[in-house]
Amino acid sequence: MTAPVVAVVGGGQLARMMAPAATALGIDLRVLTETADGSAARVVRSSVVGLPRDDGSMAAVLTEPRSADVLTFEHEHIPATAFARARDVGVPAHPAEHALLYAQDKIEMRRRLTGLGVPCPDWTELPGPGALEGFLRDHGGVAVVKTARGGYDGKGVRVVRSVTEVTEWFAAARIGGPALLAEAKVPFVRELAVLLARRPSGELRCWPVAQTVQADGVCSVVVAPAPDLSPEVEAEALRAARTVAEGLDVTGVLAVEMFEVPGDGAGGPRVLVNELAMRPHNSGHWTIDGAVTSQFEQHLRAVLDLPLGSTETVGPWSVMANVLGSGLGELTDGLATVLSADPGAKVHLYGKEIRSGRKLGHVTVVGEDLHDVRDRALAAAARLRGETVDG
Amino acid sequence: MTAPVVAVVGGGQLARMMAPAATALGIDLRVLTETADGSAARVVRSSVVGLPRDDGSMAAVLTEPRSADVLTFEHEHIPATAFARARDVGVPAHPAEHALLYAQDKIEMRRRLTGLGVPCPDWTELPGPGALEGFLRDHGGVAVVKTARGGYDGKGVRVVRSVTEVTEWFAAARIGGPALLAEAKVPFVRELAVLLARRPSGELRCWPVAQTVQADGVCSVVVAPAPDLSPEVEAEALRAARTVAEGLDVTGVLAVEMFEVPGDGAGGPRVLVNELAMRPHNSGHWTIDGAVTSQFEQHLRAVLDLPLGSTETVGPWSVMANVLGSGLGELTDGLATVLSADPGAKVHLYGKEIRSGRKLGHVTVVGEDLHDVRDRALAAAARLRGETVDG
């Protein structure tokens, strides 16, 4: 069979979790990985060790032994040269460079979203400390300062009350480091995420709006669908995400992270867009076990411009809990304990070396009763971390 | 992470479909494949090209670059030397040689099942044509003749009314070919399959009893659970399968194919065991999309002696339809058509070259209404074969 070939830049758990979907659909996956024993490289036949800024590595992942049908990414840190190499050999990139820009650069993103009328927190560029002083004055003395580029999982984001808390970021920006922006610290009710996929030919499908819970800037727990979501907030969230996807011409999976806010009672927005990710995203891991089509299958279908799959849920509630490295021991030690304690828990391990704070795996539980499902997911994640759980 | 290593003999679609489950559980899969571009080899990092009768190939799959934790199989055609090589290097085999024997040799199987009191069709060994003449006389002039070894997918099975229809099988048996047996042709109501998994430490879990439909001796459609199954037949079927698993000390997944028969109204059996398979089986492909734990994940858990997963269904009805090669064209041509026509159909392609009659993939649909689910699964399979489907 002449299988479609999807080239993926990045060899972490997101590329890894594309592999089962590729297997089912008869797609050959080829990953560009930083290390030969990386999370994705362990589970695919074909990988290239290198970086997207290396032209030779890009050429290999794009064309060897035969040309890829599409180039896609598991992270946003893609240099312009990588897109140029794909153009050179006639391989389309999804998302395209003109779309991915808005997931790479938060200033570009805020400008564009503001232009599209998508509700965002108040924000401003920070050409220097003076601008931050002014923003703090206007926003109750607190602001969220972000580096426009290079951040992830809470890195490159600081809640500050004084210019001195980001002195070194201003210093870095003056010598070519990432530009800075300030955003209002939003008094949010909770965080939501809208996950969708869009094909080059325009078809777009959203999964149900999910609630995300962060700990130390890292996604910790996701509940899908978001409990007690008002129809108005749901409609606003879906509308904002669709506007982003179509306005920015996003292809593949898009995750739009949002704040649900109390609203001003006068028709003001009830959701504000926080971050964008143009790839499968932690807020969508629940779809592997909880939806008819997983975000990984959907991403492959979308970037190959194949018809999209149903985003319906397979059970009333799905709860996903991340497992971060705590340095306590091998996850495989906890595996038998988890599987024994809860035969319905779906465990996903990423095949990584343990390092404190690193995402090593996740657990999803799908079921009828939200409290039961949540308790089981949290207990399973704790057991995988090697913690003792009652009951 | 030190991942468990599972060595698998065989590189077809059954080994291939173990790969997604291995990825999720952080297990490294290493397959012994006949061809470097085989169905499984295309989707795993680590494969050895060779045959289980080659000692060097067995040594490689068992120990290189590090020792496997367990050896398992995707088919029954495993020579004693392969088990010996595993013993040499201290790698346990599941199923073990003493169990797999009964899936390899139908005469041994019939003898043992008869000894265990498991209901089987009338049967007899056929040392020569005279024995078949006698069996035909006693069974209304018709019998099912089987080669004790080497058959699969309807090969090695013939419904005969005269000794002359298997003359060459008797001739082959006289010069060292497989021994023959005759079985009564059972007037069955339908065919059922019980799929279960059993760990070395004894834990055993059954999926719901499924109905299988064969065409030309090959599994064509599976409906799970079997519709309108009487509690008595269900209990008999599950009891028979459990007796087989425990009596034969089967480890890993076991599929027990059965005939449902009208019964004699006097307490006689309502099911008769037809065939055994000690591995994931076509009758269990529906579990990938239709059950909390797929047969592939369960097989890996079982052979590693990890606690087994829930065998509950994720929807009321699952229907799986096989896609066999019809020589009409590339399956990928039909893929977009299928995905477009039914966003809820779950397509599984095996990455094989098309050959007439070859199993190339399957489709599963899960849903509320049996007729709808069945129609959709059959339509999707037809579309994948390149046929035009109304509606």
- Of B140, B168, B183, the residue that ends a domain is B183
Contacts of A75 (CB under 8 A, 6+ apart): A9, A10, A12, A14, A152, A279
- Tell me which of B146, B161, B183 is where a domain ends: B183
| Interface residue of B332, B358, B366, B368 to substitute, partner A, most A CBs within 10 Å | B332
B positions 173-232 inside 8 Å of A (CB): 205
How far CA B294 is from CA of A381, B43, B300, B324, in Å, comes to 21, 18, 10, 22
Distances (CA, A) of A363 to A234, A318, A374, B313, B344: 26, 10, 11, 19, 24
Task: For chain B, say whether A347 makes contact (Cβ under 8 Å).
Answer: yes
Return the bridge partners of A9, or none: A32, A73
Nearest neighbour of B352 by CB, restricted to A1, A309, A347: A1
Selected residue of B2, B16, B48, B292 to mutate for chain A interface (largest A Cβ count, 10 A): B292
Provide the percentage of residues in chain B whose pLDDT is more than 90: 87
Query: Cβ of A4 and B332 within 8 Å?
Result: yes
Residue B107 lies inside a defined structural domain of this protein = no
Domain presence at residue B169: yes
Indicate if the pLDDT at residue A59 is higher than 80: yes
B223 lies in the same domain as B329: yes
Does any domain span residue A115? no
- Note whether A242 and A368 are same-domain residues: yes
Write out the DSSP string of A110-149: HHHHHHHT-----EEEESSHHHHHHHHHHTTT-EEEEESS
Helix (H) or strand (E) holding B372: helix B370-384
B211 within 8 A of B274, measured Cβ to Cβ: no
Would strands A28-33 and A46-49 be described as parallel, antiparallel, or unpaired? parallel
**B273 inside 8 A of chain A by CB:** no
Residue B1: what pLDDT? 55
ipTM of the complex: 0.94
Question: Count of CB contacts below 8 A, A vs B?
Answer: 144
Mean pLDDT of A151-157: 79
Q: How confident is the model at residue A391 (pLDDT cuts 50, 70, 90)?
A: low
Query: Would an 8 Å CB–CB cutoff place A28 in contact with chain B?
Result: yes
> Do A241 and A375 sit in the same domain of this protein?
yes
Q: Are B24 and A24 spatial neighbours (Cβ–Cβ below 8 Å)?
A: no
Gyration radius of chain B over CA positions: 21
Residues A126 and A72 in one domain: no
Q: Are B71 and B134 part of one and the same domain?
A: no
Residue A215 pLDDT grade (very low, low, confident, very high; cuts 50, 70, 90)? confident
Q: Let me know whether A171 and A200 are in one domain.
A: no
Tell whether the model's pLDDT for residue A1 goes beyond 60.
Answer: no
B19 Cβ under 8 Å from any chain A Cβ: yes
pLDDT at A330 over 90: no
- Residue A357 confidence (pLDDT): 83
Interface test with B, best of A332, A355, A358, A376 (most B CBs within 10 A): A332
B128 lies in the same domain as B238? no
The pLDDT of B83-90, averaged and rounded, is 98
Give domain status of residue B297, yes or no: yes
* Pair (B70, B150) in one structural domain: no
Establish if A302 touches chain B: CB-CB under 8 angstroms. Answer: no
Measured between CA atoms, the residue of chain A closest to residue B4 is A332
Cβ of A356 under 8 Å from any chain B Cβ?
A: no
- What residues contact A168, with CB distance under 8 A and at least 6 apart? none
For every residue of B119-146, DSSP letters joined together read ----EEE-SSHHHHHHHHHHTTT-EEEE
Q: State which of B93, B110, B140 marks the end of a domain.
A: B93
B258 shares its domain with B293: yes
**Inside any domain, residue B391:** no
pLDDT of B327 strictly over 60? no
Locate the chain A residue with the closest alpha carbon to B1.
A353
- Among A112-116, A216-220, A338-342, B168-172, name the one with the lowest average pLDDT: A216-220
Query: Which residue do the tokens 């039914």 mark?
Result: B342
d(CA B215, CA B221): 9
Phi, psi of B130 (to 5 degrees): -60, -40
Query: How many domains, in total, are found in chain A?
Result: 3
pLDDT at A16: 98
Q: Which residue has the higher pLDDT, B260 or B387?
A: B260
Q: Same domain for B200 and B167? A: no
Q: Does A339 touch chain B (CB under 8 A)?
A: yes
pLDDT at A332: 63
Q: Among the listed ranges A194-198, B86-90, B254-258, B323-327, which one has the minimum average pLDDT value?
A: B323-327
Report chain B residues whose CB lies below 8 A from the CB of A361. Answer: 26
Whether A310 and chain B come into contact, CB under 8 Å, resolves to yes
- Average pLDDT of the residues in A363-373: 98
- Taking the CA of residue B213 and the nearest CA in chain A, the distance in Å comes to 23
Q: Is residue B108 part of a domain?
A: no
CB B388 within 8 A of CB B338: no
CATH classification at residue B82: 3.40.50.20
Tokens 């924000």 appear where? A123
Mean pLDDT, to the nearest integer, of B112-128?
A: 97
Interface of A with B in 74-133 (CB under 8 A): none
| Residue B330 banded pLDDT, cuts 50, 70, 90 | low
In the predicted structure, residue B172 carries a pLDDT above the cut 70: yes
CATH of the domain at A292: 3.30.470.20
| Spatial distance between the Cα atoms of A309 and A20, rounded to a whole number of angstroms | 16
In a domain, A117, yes or no: no
Segment B63-74, tens digit of pLDDT: 999 999 999 999
CB of B315 less than 8 A from some CB of A = yes
Q: Per the CB < 8 Å rule, is B26 touching A335?
A: yes
Residue pair A159/A144 in contact (Cβ under 8 Å)? The answer is yes
What H or E segment, with its residue span, contains residue A101?
A: helix A97-104
Q: Considering the domain boundaries, does residue B106 fall inside one?
A: no
C-alpha to C-alpha distance for B66 and A194, rounded to whole angstroms = 43
CB contact under 8 A, A1 and B354: yes
- Cross-strand partners of B207: none
With H, G, I as helix, E, B as strand and everything else as coil, classify residue B351: coil
Query: Do B227 and B322 fall within a single domain?
Result: yes
The single-letter code of the amino acid at B243 is T
Distance separating alpha carbons of residues A388 and A337, to the nearest angstrom: 10
Q: How high is the pLDDT of residue A155?
A: 83
Range(s) of the domain holding residue A56: 5-93
Whether residue B301 and residue A339 make contact (CB cut-off 8 A), yes or no, is yes
Q: Is B330 on the interface with A (CB under 8 A)?
A: yes
**pLDDT attached to residue B332:** 62
What does the DSSP 8-state code read for residue B27?
P
pLDDT value of residue A219:
85
Across the interface, of A25, A336, A366, the residue whose CB is closest to B349 is A25
| Mean pLDDT, rounded, for A241-260 | 98
Q: Which residues on B lie below 8 Å from A42 (Cβ)?
A: 3, 28, 45
pLDDT-wise least confident of A95-99, A196-200, B217-221, B343-347: B217-221
A304 to chain B: closest CA residue: B336
Q: Do A309 and B1 touch (CB under 8 A)?
A: no
- Residue B126: CATH number of its domain: 3.30.1490.20
pLDDT-based confidence at residue A327 (cuts at 50, 70, 90): low
- Among the partner-chain residues A2, A22, A366, the one whose CB lies closest to the CB of B332 is A2
Nearest of A298, A299, A288, A311 to residue A363 by alpha carbon: A288
Looking at the structure, tell me whether residues A28 and A146 fall in a common domain: no
Average pLDDT of chain A to the nearest whole number: 94
pLDDT recorded at residue A159: 96
Alpha-carbon distance A277 to A368, whole Å?
Answer: 30
What's the mean pLDDT in A295-300?
98
Highest mean pLDDT pick, A317-326, A363-372, B169-178: A363-372
A354 in contact with B, Cβ within 8 Å: yes
Contact across the interface for B343 and A310, Cβ inside 8 Å: yes
